Amino acid sequence: MKDGAASPRPVIFTDLDGTLLDAESYAFDESRETLERVKSAGIPVVFCSSKTRAEQEYYRAALGVTDPFIVENGSAIFIPRDYFGFDFPFHHTRDQYAVIELGVSAKDIRSVLREIREQQRLPLAGFGDLDLPELCRITGLAPEAARRALQREYSETIVPSLSAEEFRRLENRLAEKGLRGVAGSRLYTITGQNGDKGRAVQRLGELFRREFGDIITVGVGDSQNDFPMLNAVERPYLVQKPGRRWAPADLPRVRKIAGVGPAGWKIAMAEILAGYTLPNP
């Protein structure tokens, strides 16, 4: 692969909700055609989202994406066995994947949340406490999709109904326990402190570099939980949220795209495709 490559191969790290997928409907109609062009160019597309493995597997199958993926805000990297042509260290294998873990198990996070809820008397309803109809109502997900969202392995998502002061108390307690919360498009997700999208992107980027030699890492996101990912890549893009506004970002290198969600994603990908020459076979 290294020989004959006319330009460094881009590797795309992309958020899902509100970026590749529509923020309200989770639809991918608008990004689909561009995604096909990216795939045909031999450019890996790595989902990097707060979504669970079960949720991401659904979109991988629906969109025909077979590259590694990063789940639950950077808590773990799932790499299809035999994807890379060399051996690398990983924590364990699950189904057809080698798994690199950076985060904390969902079980441990839930027990910390229970403790905080009791000691601090904070109303902390997590996904794990909600029944399916409630979860559907809050997330706007259909029942099948909500079921996939409940299959958390490394994080717990709570439904923010706290005052600013309560949030501060929650964040202090989480930090004491080696955990942290990140606000996504709609919800607040708690993970281990070491599981962030940026670290996961760096880790996986090293493997891609070993595989392809010269690469350019590209990141596309819409929210605060994408900032570590955008900081970790060479070409960061921020798309707009509904209402045509950008998440307030202090990221000097980031390129702000005037397009909401998938519309912005298409513009970013067109730029990447325009600057990339296919390697000779």
- Measured in whole angstroms, how far is the alpha carbon of residue 179 from the centre of its chain? 18
> Of 19 and 217, which has the nearer Cβ to Mg ion?
19
Q: Coil, strand or helix: which one is 247? A: coil
Q: 137 with 146: CB under 8 angstroms?
A: no
Residue 196 touches Mg ion, criterion: CB under 5 A: no
CB of 278 to Mg ion, least distance (A): 30
Smallest gap from Cβ 58 to Mg ion, in A, equals: 16
Asked if 72 is part of the footprint of Mg ion (rule: CB under 5 A), the reply reads no
Choices 101-109, 127-135, 180-188, 209-217 (CB under 5 A): range interacting with Mg ion:
180-188
Alpha helices per DSSP H over 93-131: 106-120
Catalytic residue annotation: 15
The distance of closest approach from Cβ of residue 85 to Mg ion in the complex, given in angstroms and rounded to an integer, is 32
Q: Collapse the DSSP code of 110 into the 3-class scheme (helix H, G, I; strand E, B; otherwise coil) and give the result.
A: helix
Residue with tokens 């066995």: 81
| Secondary structure element (H or E) that encloses residue 94, with its range | strand 92-94
Reference 99, options 203, 213, 194; nearest CA is 203
End-to-end CA distance of the chain: 8
Beta carbon nearer to Mg ion, 55 or 222: 222
Shortest distance, position 201 Cβ to Mg ion, whole Å: 15
Instruction: Tell me the residue length of the chain.
Output: 281
- Taking CB positions, which residue lies at the least distance from Mg ion? 18
75 binds Mg ion (CB under 5 A): no
Q: Which is nearer to Mg ion, 97 or 231 (CB)?
A: 231
Q: Quick one: the chain helix, strand, coil %, rounded to 5?
A: 40, 20, 40
Query: Does 17 participate in binding Mg ion (rule CB under 5 A)?
Result: yes
Helices 106-120 and 164-176: crossing angle in degrees, nearest 10, is 130
CB of 182 to Mg ion, least distance (A): 11
- Residue 15 in contact with Mg ion, rule: CB under 5 A: yes
**Residues binding Mg ion: what is the number (CB under 5 A)?**
6
Instruction: Out of 53, 222, 241, 276, name the contact with Mg ion by CB under 5 A.
Output: 222
Contacting Mg ion (CB under 5 A), which of 73, 223, 231, 240? Answer: 223
Looking at residue 148, the DSSP 8-state letter turns out to be: H
Which residues share a beta bridge with 156?
Answer: 190
* Among the residue ranges 14-22, 88-96, 132-140, 172-180, the one whose residues contact Mg ion (CB under 5 A): 14-22
Residue 50 sits in the site that holds Mg ion (CB under 5 A): no
Contact between 185 and Mg ion (CB under 5 A)? Answer: yes
Is residue 18 within the footprint of Mg ion (CB under 5 A)? yes
Both tokens of 244, joined, read 């045509």
Q: Does 139 bind Mg ion (CB under 5 A)?
A: no
CA atoms within 13 A on the CB side of 35: 25
Which residues contact Mg ion (rule: CB under 5 A)? Answer: 15, 17-18, 185, 222-223
